[in-house]
Amino acid sequence: MNLLARGFVGLGIPFLAIVPTIPILSHMSVSVFGMPIAVVWLLCCIPLTSGCLAVCWFLHDRHVQDEAPSPP
């Protein structure tokens, strides 16, 4: 997984799922199980965000040798 893909999956997808999406859904009068769709979608974003970060960890960061920096 390259750095660009890692940034998109880890940061881009969670932000796109909330920042432009929630206002759009907030103006729709659709309900799911009696709840506004914006609220249902936001609750779905909880496992989505964790999943995105898990993809970054398992496909990239887990394999990076990352020790504490040492001063020169």
Partner 1 sequence: MTVIFSALIVASLLVALVSRRGHAHQRAEDFFVASGQFGAILYFFLAVGETYSIASFLGFPGGVYAHGTGFVSWFLGYILLSFPVGYFLYPWIWRAGRLHGAVTLPDLFARHYRSRSLELVVTVASIGFLVPLGVMQFAGLNVVLGDLGWPVPRVVLTGLGGALAFSYIAISGIRAPAFVAVMKDALVLAAILLTGIACLSAEPASSGRAAPIALHALPGGDVFAMTTIILQCIGFCVVPQTCAFVFTARSVGAVRRAQVGMPLYMVMFPFLLVVALYALRTGVRPAVPDDVLLAVARALLPGWATGLVMAGAALSALVILTGVCLALGPLVTRNLVPGLDSDQQQRWAKVVTALYLLLSIAGAAHSRALMAALNNLFYFGMTQAFPGLLAMIVARHVRPGAIIAGLLAGDALAIGLHAFGVPMGGCNPGLVGLVANLAIVFGTGWWWPGAAVRPVAAFRR
CA distance 72 to 50: 37
CA distance 72 to 48: 41
- Find the binder of partner 1 among 1, 5, 8, 18 (CB under 8 A): 18
CA distance 52 to 28: 26
| Number of Cβ atoms within 10 Å of the Cβ of 62 | 9
| Residue 59 touching partner 1 (CB under 8 A) | no
Shortest distance, position 2 Cβ to partner 1, whole Å: 15
Positions in the binding site for partner 1 (CB under 8 A) = 7, 10-11, 14-15, 18-20, 22-23, 26, 29, 31, 33-36, 38-39, 42-43, 45-47, 49-50, 52-54, 56-57, 61-62, 65-72
